């Protein structure tokens, strides 16, 4: 089933919701606030694979200084028949034309994963002295981890999604060695495995296979 897993268009690393202001110092000082988003249902949704049908987005709103502004989809394709991780991307502009974006993670799982619990403390097998905590964020299968690579003293924090049937997706992230890409991984009741694919020079293109063993 692994080759049927789709890592959807994942743009998370470029999609920070910002409340910073743009300043124009020509003539008169001016501040322009960027749109802030509210995602109905939160920024993570998990649904079990369906035989047919379409994904119904719960919706989103965008606000600038208390006034609602129009919101657009930059990308909203989710295949509910194919397990994987997808990203729904939202775009809005303020009255001056400055824009911001945000995204929602949508996981399509092989099965109901709410009874799975992969949280705990794990030890690296590449560098065994390194341990990292895994915390379940959502019963829909979203987890965060203190370090996904395990190189001593140089953490690479991240998140992953449990798809069921012992498959997972490591989401894109960033740490000491720069950005890393999404990758398909596996798990058992005692281990987590994935590739850390580095994207930032001078490490760009380096792929590090990683396995973590549960210790408690």
pLDDT for the residue 183: 97
Q: Which residue has the higher pLDDT, 10 or 74?
A: 74
Q: Domain residues of the chain, as ranges?
A: 2-23+31-109, 120-214
Query: Does 19 score more than 70 pLDDT?
Result: no
pLDDT for the residue 127: 84
The percentage of the chain sitting over the pLDDT mark of 70, rounded to a whole number, equals 86
Band (129; pLDDT cuts 50, 70, 90): confident
Q: What is the mean pLDDT of residues 126-131?
A: 86
pLDDT for the residue 69: 95
Query: Does 20 score more than 60 pLDDT?
Result: no
Q: How far is it, in rounded angstroms, from Cα 199 to Cα 134?
A: 24
Query: Does 66 score more than 80 pLDDT?
Result: yes
Q: How far is it, in rounded angstroms, from Cα 68 to Cα 122?
A: 45
Residues 197/180, Cβ–Cβ less than 8 Å: yes
Instruction: Indicate the range of 28-37, 48-57, 128-137 predicted with least confidence.
Output: 28-37
Query: Does 8 score more than 70 pLDDT?
Result: no
Query: Does 147 score more than 90 pLDDT?
Result: yes
Reported CATH class of domain 2-23+31-109: mainly beta
Mean pLDDT computed over every residue of the chain? 88
Neighbour tally for 64: CB within 10 Å: 19
Band (30; pLDDT cuts 50, 70, 90): low
Q: Looking at the DSSP assignment, which residues form a beta bridge with residue 38?
A: 61
Query: Does 13 score more than 90 pLDDT?
Result: no
Residues 2/184, Cβ–Cβ less than 8 Å: yes
Query: Does 10 score more than 70 pLDDT?
Result: no
pLDDT for the residue 5: 52
């Amino acid at each position: 089933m692994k080759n049927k897993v789709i890592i959807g268009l994942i743009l998370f690393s470029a999609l920070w919701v910002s409340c910073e202001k743009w300043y124009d110092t020509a003539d008169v000082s001016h501040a322009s606030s960027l749109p802030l988003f509210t995602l109905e249902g939160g920024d993570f949704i998990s649904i079990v694979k369906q035989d047919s049908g379409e994904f119904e987005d719960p919706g989103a709103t965008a606000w600038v200084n208390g006034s609602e502004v129009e919101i657009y989809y930059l990308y909203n394709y989710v295949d509910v028949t194919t397990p994987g991780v997808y990203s729904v991307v939202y775009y809005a502009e303020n009255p001056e034309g400055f824009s911001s974006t945000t995204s929602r993670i949508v996981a399509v799982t092989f099965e109901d994963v709410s009874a799975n619990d992969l949280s705990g403390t794990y030890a690296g097998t590449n560098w065994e002295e390194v341990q990292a905590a895994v915390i379940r964020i959502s019963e829909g299968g979203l987890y965060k981890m203190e370090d996904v690579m395990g190189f001593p003293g140089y953490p690479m924090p991240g998140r992953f999604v449990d798809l069921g049937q012992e498959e997972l997706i490591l989401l894109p992230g960033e740490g000491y060695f720069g950005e890393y890409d999404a990758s398909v991984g596996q798990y058992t009741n005692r281990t987590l495995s994935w590739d850390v694919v580095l994207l930032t020079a001078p490490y760009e293109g380096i792929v590090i296979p990683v396995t973590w063993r549960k210790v408690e």
